Structure 1
Amino acid sequence: MAQRETWATRTGFILAAVGSAVGLGNIWRFPFATADGGGAAFLVMYLLFIALIGFPAMLAEFVVGRKSKRNPVGALQEYGGDAWRYVGGIFVFIGVVLLSYYSVIAGWFIRYFLEGLRGSYADHLTAYNGEAAAMFGDLTVGLDAFVLHTLFMAATVGIVALGVRQGIELAVKVMVPALIVLLVGLAVWAFTLDGAGGGYSYYLSPEFGTIADNWTTLLPAAAGQAFFTLSLGMGVMITYASYLSEDRNLATDGLTIIGFDTGIAFLAGLVVFPIFFSAGLEPGEGGPSTIFIGMTEAFADITGGQLLGLVFFGTVVVAALSSAISLLEVVTAYAIDEKGMERWKAAGGMGLLIYVIGIPVTYDLIFLDLYDGFIDAVLLVFGALMVMILVGWIAPKVAVNELSKGIGDLGSFDLAWIWAIRVPIIIVLVISLYLGAVDYLDILADFSEWLDTNL
């Protein structure tokens, strides 16, 4: 077996992990999850999840990955025994399904960027009688969506096929800093808009009574978003940590990644909501279409909207690619480690499978609800729960020993970390999993009705 690749630099690993975390989860999903959750009330729950659960969970995935030097299937098998191999298979499945629709959504952002090159967003809306929702419905399904899905997956496969150092690490060293600079510039510009104050109030002024009244809805939504945006529960951090050396301080790296990711998610809100309110729009429960409909209407009404729209949608395309390569790396590493495939064959073969699974989403958005609801509300939380059980209850001593490498004396941190995983985190994840599964039943009911109507 060929020698396993490693990161060339600590910066490369940090940027790759940040790039995985910040993509569409932060700029596409975070704003609509926040809007569906009522604004600041959701933000509070999300930040609590990141601080109290995200960091311990990330450390758990790090120790499993670095200890084994394997993909999620091999890592969980080596760490917990043969039965855990099948749990690791869930992570590979998550990576396949998640990237399949993620690629289609990335294609939507490419399309909106291209529309900005063709003319002003106001002119485009005129063609749809001013209806941004009609424009979204037209641009996001059909042949064009299929072609852009194809192009985006081809680019993702090309980068991953080049390897960890020459492909992923080189790409993220350019993309992630560019992403941060562009978002900061957009946030500064949004601050200057008339009416932006309404957006800041909606986003930053929580009503705690709302949180108390709606916690059963906010809890699974915040949990799913936290794991989605941190790339937890999907095998990415296990895979990326498998390329780390033993002298790396996992706690410092984890805090750095979470700090960047949370900062960028927060920054995305400081861009989107002031723009919404300055254009006289209030975020509603628009789901996946929120960012497209709202931002298109805003860019149609704002001076310089065409240029700003190009910058915004182009920024999201960069973010999407940085995340997509991490998801493809999970399944590529599985094919390399477990099936003995060469990297370019593994990336190409798994990329083709993912591409085919995503095609239905280019036909009808009901498939996006079907895929995303299952991944976000059920499998991501389940995957994280399994890792917590493995690290907290099955092999805690191995985990503590691995965590201490590169850190030294852990003091009382190791005890606090393990017991946080064992009890409160597992309890919260179980509750979130139950609530998320209940919500997903509604999606299945909608899909059943769609089948009855269309078949």
Structure 2
Amino acid sequence: MTAENGGSAFLLLYLLIVLTVGVPGLLAAFVIGRRSNRNPVGAFKSLAGSRFWTALGALCVVTSIVLLSFYSVVGGWILRYFLESATGAYFAAPETHFATISYGAEAFGYQLAVLAITSLIIAAGIRRGIEATTKVMMPGIVVLLIGLAIWAGQQPGATQGYEFYLGFDGTYLTENFLSILGAAAGQALFTLSIGSGTMITYASYINDDRSLPLDASAIAVFNLGIGILAGLVVFPLLFSFASGPTGGGPGALFVGIAGAFASLPGGRLLGAVFFLVVLLAAFTSLVSMLEIPVSLLVDEFDLERSTATGGLFALVALTGGVNAFNPAVFTLFADQLVNLLLVLGLTGFMLYAAWVLGPAAIEEYLKGAGPISRPLVIPWRYAIGTVFPAFLLFTFYTDVAALVGLSVGRGSLVVTSLVTLLVLVVVACRTVSETRPQLNESAD
């Protein structure tokens, strides 16, 4: 995404959105999840009891399936490249190789392998599966990334890579602001796992003595740190051994970076280490995506975790198979649909926490909160009820206009966003009187 959207211009907007919108959004999801102790559908059903808000929980499940459908294809590519690093199969002609293997029966086969591994982790449960594997994978990612970043910084094009990645380009940002804004917002929500219900699900397992503001801030900071560290590996290599970030998207990784290893001594080993890092990161994401619908089936339908996981494996194999065989569908899912769904989801989370939960959200926020975060609770509530949803709706309508090919002025987008926000706030406030007894009881 950074390679596609001007390097430092994209990075700056991404950083700002993560810190100013992402952290408050994480808090909204945490509050909903811990208050309900349920999956997204169960959370809104138990706390609100209205069809409108229950539909928001259902949207989370749909979003997770959409995410899994295309991201499991990407996971299959990564797994294949990790295995092929041992033989250097992609060294001779990286561009041709990727074009050959990216879609079709073989891509589907690797996708199934990735889904099977993810399903095994999920089926093992929260402690023995998700927690045990991420405790190994996350430190491994950090250690390997640091080593790769040190090595990449010693390559001949490192300076140019750092300039593209970190040198601020105000002209590019000004000329392409709206297109970069939508991409940065979508990427921020994707990397923080908010908007799809992942953090609602995970927060349902959090104890009351945990500080939600501290956890949200820590997640954002570590997320940014690992993301920036990855860029310190990728861009020096692209400028040293490829033609720079001439093509973003999958090509930056599977053509530009893969081609770099072909020209390096020990390239097979370096390629294996690099794609191992990416593979571990992919699995942590896939696990969080699959946990959403699994928790729904376990909590709401009393299915065994293994049964629920098996059924969803079959479903995602079907929906993901369409992505594995059809590049147009993959592009629609990965580049447009996911961003729109994530923005809608987070907008709903914020409005729900601010206007439906209201005082209950404040109470949940304050449990375990420290002296620094406690005074921020009131500004947080009203910011997630007004300013941040307005911003998210603006990016949503901007992306929709671009998707359908409409040329709409910024003023019209602002007005449309504010009108939509007003309608949603009215809907939220109308449910308060109906849900107040349920909100209070849910704290017991």
Q: TM-score scaled by structure 1?
A: 0.86
| 1:433-454 CA-partner distances (Å, limit 9, x unpaired) | 11122233369xxxxxxxxxxx
1:44-193 equivalent positions in 2, closer than 5 A: 44-83=12-51, 84-119=53-88, 121-122=90-91, 124-125=92-93, 132-193=94-155
1:408 Cα deviation after fit:
5.9
1:158-307 equivalent positions in 2, closer than 5 A: 158-307=120-269
Partner of 1:417: 380
Instruction: Please tell me the residue identity of whatever aligns with 2:41.
Output: V
Instruction: Please tell me the residue identity of whatever aligns with 1:396.
Output: G
1:284 Cα deviation after fit:
2.4
Within 2, Cα distance between the matches of 1:182 and 1:160? 25
Within 1, Cα distance between the matches of 2:247 and 2:13? 18
1:289 Cα deviation after fit:
2.6
> Are the aligned partners of 1:120 and 1:306 in contact in 2 as well (CA < 8 Å)?
no
| 1:334-381 CA-partner distances (Å, limit 9, x unpaired) | 011111111111111112111110002221321211211343331000
| 1:93-142 CA-partner distances (Å, limit 9, x unpaired) | 111111121111111011112221123643x32xxxxxx32211101122
Cα pair distance change 1:403/1:151, threshold 3 Å: same
> Are the aligned partners of 1:239 and 1:333 in contact in 2 as well (CA < 8 Å)?
yes
Moved more, 187-196 or 109-118: 109-118
1:253 Cα deviation after fit:
1.0
> Are the aligned partners of 1:233 and 1:381 in contact in 2 as well (CA < 8 Å)?
yes
Would you say 1:322 and 2:284 are equivalent positions? yes
User: What SS does the aligned partner of 2:84 have?
Assistant: helix
Superposition RMSD in Å: 1.6
User: What SS does the aligned partner of 1:302 have?
Assistant: coil
Partner of 2:397: 434
| 1:297-331 CA-partner distances (Å, limit 9, x unpaired) | 21122332221111111111111111111111111
Partner of 1:370: 332
Cα pair distance change 1:280/1:161, threshold 3 Å: closer
Moved more, 107-116 or 220-229: 107-116
User: What SS does the aligned partner of 1:394 have?
Assistant: helix
> Are the aligned partners of 2:63 and 2:338 in contact in 1 as well (CA < 8 Å)?
no
| 1:392-416 CA-partner distances (Å, limit 9, x unpaired) | 2222211110011112665431111
> Are the aligned partners of 1:34 and 1:42 in contact in 2 as well (CA < 8 Å)?
yes
Partner of 1:29: none
1:379-390 equivalent positions in 2, closer than 5 A: 379-390=341-352
Instruction: Please tell me the residue identity of whatever aligns with 1:113.
Output: F
Would you say 1:353 and 2:315 are equivalent positions? yes
Instruction: Please tell me the residue identity of whatever aligns with 1:249.
Output: S
| 1:48-82 CA-partner distances (Å, limit 9, x unpaired) | 00110000000000000000000000112223332
Within 2, Cα distance between the matches of 1:177 and 1:392? 35
Within 2, Cα distance between the matches of 1:133 and 1:435? 33
> Are the aligned partners of 1:113 and 1:310 in contact in 2 as well (CA < 8 Å)?
yes
Within 2, Cα distance between the matches of 1:190 and 1:332? 40
Within 2, Cα distance between the matches of 1:210 and 1:394? 41
Within 2, Cα distance between the matches of 1:286 and 1:213? 19
User: What SS does the aligned partner of 1:284 have?
Assistant: coil
Within 2, Cα distance between the matches of 1:133 and 1:367? 21
1:418 Cα deviation after fit:
1.1
> Are the aligned partners of 1:248 and 1:405 in contact in 2 as well (CA < 8 Å)?
yes
Within 2, Cα distance between the matches of 1:110 and 1:436? 31
Within 2, Cα distance between the matches of 1:287 and 1:248? 38
Count of residue pairs brought into register by the alignment: 404
Moved more, 301-310 or 113-122: 113-122
Cα pair distance change 1:119/1:208, threshold 3 Å: closer
Partner of 2:10: 42
Moved more, 237-246 or 406-415: 406-415
Q: Which stretches of structure 1, 4 residues or more, deviate above 4 A after TM superposition?
A: 408-411
1:393-404 equivalent positions in 2, closer than 5 A: 393-404=355-366
Within 2, Cα distance between the matches of 1:440 and 1:97? 18
Instruction: Please tell me the residue identity of whatever aligns with 1:48.
Output: L
Within 1, Cα distance between the matches of 2:405 and 2:301? 38
Instruction: Please tell me the residue identity of whatever aligns with 2:399.
Output: G
Moved more, 184-193 or 389-398: 389-398
User: What SS does the aligned partner of 1:245 have?
Assistant: coil
Instruction: Please tell me the residue identity of whatever aligns with 1:307.
Output: L
